[in-house]
Amino acid sequence: MIQAFLLDMNRKDLYKLAFMLQSSGQVNVIGMSAQPQEAVDRILQLQPEVLFMDLQGPGLQGVLVAELVKQKIPHIQIIVVTESKQHALWAFDHAVADYVLKPLEEVRLSQSLERLRMGS
């Protein structure tokens, strides 16, 4: 079972993603947050295998969180789940595991989980 942490400033999207991942039977959501600042500490404490996160937010908070987490936990996989394509180039340059556009669809999320499984 994949151990995951979720970060999304939109609580509705956060809970929807948590529900979809738990329902997949492949992911154990060990933590989630709508606050980027608190998320970093929790992620470092919990050491998840995967971070599902939205890069949207005030300024570059999402990008900074992703870079800091990757620096501290180099083996963590990051899957960006966002409404915008604006960070796609950054994601490609930083070798994120996947880039999923909202609204979330089960088929697309399943493809992401398959990528994680194949990459492990």
pLDDT score at 118: 87
Longest dimension (CA), the chain: 35
**Distance between CA 42 and CA 33 in Å, rounded?**
9
pTM above the 0.85 mark? Answer: yes
pLDDT score at 58: 64
Q: What's the CATH code, domain 2-119?
A: 3.40.50.2300
pLDDT score at 117: 87
Domain ranges of the chain: 2-119
Per-residue pLDDT of the chain (120 residues; tens, 9 = 90+): 999 999 999 999 999 999 999 999 999 999 999 998 889 999 999 999 999 999 886 666 888 999 999 999 999 999 999 998 988 998 999 889 999 999 999 999 999 999 998 875
3-state secondary structure of 64: helix
